[in-house]
Amino acid sequence: MRIKYHYIDLRLRHIFTISRSSKAVEPCVIVELEHEGLVGLGEAAPSERYGETRETVETFLAKVDMRRFPEPFQLDEILGYVQGLLPGNASAKAAIDMALHDWIGKKLQLPLWKLWGFDRTRTPRTSFTIGIDELPVIEQKVREAEPYPILKVKVGAPNDENIIKTIRRITDKPIRVDANEGWKSKEQAAEKILWLEEQGVEFIEQPMPTSDPDGTAWVRERVNIPLIADESVIDISSIPKL
């Protein structure tokens, strides 16, 4: 059993902007796990928010020695080894995890949803993300997203309200909002969320910086729609504090 990997630049149709950064290219490292003539595929999407780059992914993958394991079915042992190899490096570890499961599904000739006993007709619908942008471009993005039934809208910019108003002029689709830690005060977050509730927003993702869990709790007591953690959850050890 061995792995190899290669790098792909995903060139975006629009510059993708969130509250803390913009990008025109999304780096991606594809992992190929080969065993007995089958290849399982995994994807690492490194996030600078967590100190990851293409180079850190490749450095981590170069340290992984799969020859010590006779077959991919030893998931617990393999993933325990990968997890303990170095701290962090979540996207590289996830890519190996995906490649292992992809290989197993191919070996058993079963899609993973069937292997795990899921009902694919009951799969929750995901959302299409609209990044922060100038209002005419926001309108263009929403029209391009016509096939998608749910929109997730990035906010955390000075014109948050105008972004939502622009989208609501075009569509009444369900909207979810992601602030990416962009609201710096609890008062600002609560005020914006109460307004967003009136616009039919389903929930708010990461309204406050991870450094301010008490501020998040303060907001939670004053708004009515769900608050969803993202950057605040690094791994399972983050859950009890939340």
What mean pLDDT is reported for the chain?
95
Q: What is the pLDDT of residue 23?
A: 93
CA 149 to chain centre: 19
Element containing residue 231 per DSSP (H, E): none
Amino acid at 33: L
Report the alpha-carbon distance of residue 162 to residue 150 in Å, rounded: 19
Using CA atoms in the order 141, 146, 148, 154, what is the torsion angle rounded to 10 degrees? Answer: 20
DSSP result, 20-65: S-EEEEEEEEEEEEEETTEEEEEEE---GGGT--HHHHHHHHHH--
Of the options 3.30.390.10, 3.90.1150.10, 3.40.50.620, 1.10.3720.10, the CATH number for the domain spanning 2-114: 3.30.390.10
Fold of 124-238: TIM Barrel (3.20.20)
Report the alpha-carbon distance of residue 155 to residue 157 in Å, rounded: 6
Angle between helices 186-198 and 160-170 (to 10 degrees): 10
Q: What is the pLDDT of residue 184?
A: 85
Local structure of 128: helix, strand or coil: strand
DSSP result, 141-180: HHHHTTT-S-EEEE--STTHHHHHHHHHHH----EEEE-T
Q: What is the pLDDT of residue 89?
A: 96
Query: Tens of pLDDT along the chain (242 residues)?
Result: 999 999 999 999 999 999 989 999 999 999 999 999 999 999 999 998 899 999 999 999 999 999 999 999 999 999 999 999 999 999 999 999 999 999 999 999 999 999 999 999 998 889 999 999 999 999 999 999 999 999 999 999 889 999 999 999 999 999 999 999 999 899 999 999 999 999 999 999 999 999 999 999 999 999 999 999 999 998 888 999 88
131-134, long-range: CB within 8 Å, 24+ apart, which pairs?
A: 131/14, 131/15, 131/16, 131/17, 131/18, 132/17, 132/18, 132/19, 132/156, 132/157, 132/163, 133/14, 133/15, 133/17
Q: What is the pLDDT of residue 233?
A: 92
150 closest CA partner among 176, 178, 177, 179: 176
Model pLDDT for residues 171-192, shown as the tens digit of each residue = 999 999 999 999 989 999 999 9
Domain boundaries, the chain: 2-114, 124-238
Q: What is the pLDDT of residue 27?
A: 92
